[in-house]
Amino acid sequence: MSRHDRIMEGMGLHGRAIVTALDVMAETRSARPSMDEICERMGVGAEDLRGIFADEHSLLVAVAEQALVRLIDATTRAIVKVEQDDPIGQFLALGDVYMEWAAQYPTQFRLVTDNSLVDGYEVPELRRYIDSLSELMIRTLSRAQDRGDLPATADIPKLVLTTRIFCHGLARMLIDGRLHAMQPDASALQLAKSIMRDTVRHFTLPAGRAA
């Protein structure tokens, strides 16, 4: 029995459809899988699958939601491992998790960040996870500012937006293999984390030196 078969064994139709969709997307690099192709690979009738997912978009939303749940769970576990009086350390941990998530789930990363496939801001089921991550980042940097780790004049929402844009691009370079191509002797994931951490430290200040 293959690894894929072991994953599929014991799953219901919902879970099997998500796994199959991810297989198709991994092979076609983010192309939208058709319901007919999913049904054919799963060996089920279109009527059965459409009883759970109305169309391709509904299936992709389910795939994206599962990916975001994994990201939220990972960030929650990572942030509690860092001392509560070290918000910058917690913020860096969030960046590490994002890079790890993208590296471990490249197909899901491409789906979640490609608005032509699923626009997370327009889908309430997904928007709540995206907003939750943004709010967590804002709260974390606000605590850092209160501690004097950021300038008093720093625009926290703008810093969060800047960080998100930067980390998205960095993660994309990571999963596309461009970081490895630039420094083949280094671990691409560790290089991505190091670049992210260096960038964050550029806009932070040592404790007690707020501007």
Q: Which CATH number goes with the domain that contains 73?
A: 1.10.357.10
Whole-number Å distance between alpha carbons of 155 and 187:
33
* Residue 144 burial class via C-beta count within 10 angstroms: exposed 0-12, middle 13-18, buried 19 and up: buried
Residues 86 and 144 in one domain: yes
Q: Within a domain: residue 9?
A: yes
Selection from 20, 21, 12 nearest residue 48 by Cα:
12
Whole-number Å distance between alpha carbons of 123 and 26:
23
Whole-number Å distance between alpha carbons of 35 and 48:
11
Residues 166 and 114 in one domain: yes
Structural domains counted in the chain: 2
Residues 84 and 179 in one domain: yes
Q: Within a domain: residue 208?
A: no
Q: Within a domain: residue 210?
A: no
Residues 72 and 141 in one domain: yes
Burial 9-40 (b: 16+ CB within 10 A, else e): eeeeeeebbbbbbbbbbeeeebebbebeebbe
Which domain covers residue 93, as residue numbers? 56-202
Max CA distance (Å), the chain: 65
Q: Within a domain: residue 3?
A: yes
Residues 75 and 130 in one domain: yes
Selection from 152, 116, 138 nearest residue 25 by Cα:
116
Residues 3 and 101 in one domain: no
Boundary-marking domain end, from 39, 54, 69:
54
Whole-number Å distance between alpha carbons of 95 and 75:
9
Residues 23 and 107 in one domain: no
Residues 46 and 78 in one domain: no
Residues 120 and 75 in one domain: yes
> From first to last of its 211 residues, what are the pLDDT tens digits of the chain?
344 444 444 468 889 999 999 998 888 765 688 888 899 889 898 888 888 998 999 999 999 999 999 999 999 999 999 999 999 999 999 999 999 999 999 999 999 998 888 888 899 999 999 999 999 999 999 999 999 999 999 999 999 999 999 999 999 999 999 998 888 888 999 999 999 999 988 877 654 454 4
Residues 70 and 148 in one domain: yes
The pLDDT assigned to 6 comes to 44
Q: Within a domain: residue 209?
A: no
Residues 78 and 13 in one domain: no
The pLDDT assigned to 205 comes to 65
- Cα angle vertex 3, ends 5, 18, to 5°? 60
Q: Within a domain: residue 207?
A: no
Tokens of 164: 């998100």
Residues 45 and 69 in one domain: no
Q: Within a domain: residue 77?
A: yes
